[in-house]
Amino acid sequence: MNNIRRKCLLSWQIPSIGFGLTFLLGLGLSYSNQDIRSEVQSVGLLVFTVLVVIGSYYTAQAFRSCQRYRNKNYLKYAIAGLSANLFLIFFVVTSVNKIYTLNYLLNITKYSLEEFKPRSNASKLPIWIDTDPACGQSATSDVDDCWALMLALRWQSLSSGESPKLNIRGISTTFGNTKGETTLQVARQVIGHLGGAARTPIYEGSHSSGSPEWKRILSL
């Protein structure tokens, strides 16, 4: 009976404790000075998925034990396990949806150069933003790029008086404060938080000073 009780306890202990430890570890690594946020997200979601599979197995065992031995404690463990696993499933699905949105839906790059030529509307000032935002990557990361990007996007959406409105033709990201792929993700997050600004196209620039694209630029 002790072995059965132990298995029933595992139905909620594995997903709950596993989630807590993995979440805290991932949170610590994400806010460290290392550029591994995307890797932490991928590994974390994989671990959570494994926890759901294992927790679901023990939850099913707990329900079977409850039905077989008519023990109310087993039923409590089974319900706790079911709740913990449903929470993990909700967390994984929500996280995957957010990552997909940031990495695919906001990656609007299919534009021709004709679309970025200044229009005849003199009330709008056409600009292009080339930036290397790294806010949120560590406790010491510069936040000036993110502030400037948010202010520009916000100013574009506001009605202006005598001052011309901004017409942001596009945003390009590059390495600098952090790696190029990280600055692209940060720019997407900033735009995603500003709702209506999601139509602004984002272009990915060089990832590092050793990339072929950067070497070609230096040779011009």
Is the separation of the CB atoms in 164 and 203 below 8 Å?
no
The tokens of 196 are what? 């209506």
DSSP string, 167-200: EEEEEEE-SSSS-HHHHHHHHHHHHHHTGGGGGS
Instruction: Give the pLDDT score at 220.
Output: 43
What type of residue is 62? A
Instruction: Give the pLDDT score at 4.
Output: 76
Q: How far is CA 84 from the centre of its chain?
A: 23
The tokens of 167 are what? 């017409």
Q: Could you tell me which of 38, 205, 203, 207 has the C-alpha nearest to residue 107?
A: 203
Instruction: Give the pLDDT score at 211.
Output: 64
Instruction: Give the pLDDT score at 86.
Output: 92
Low-confidence ranges of the chain (pLDDT < 50): 107-113, 218, 220
Instruction: Give the pLDDT score at 118.
Output: 52
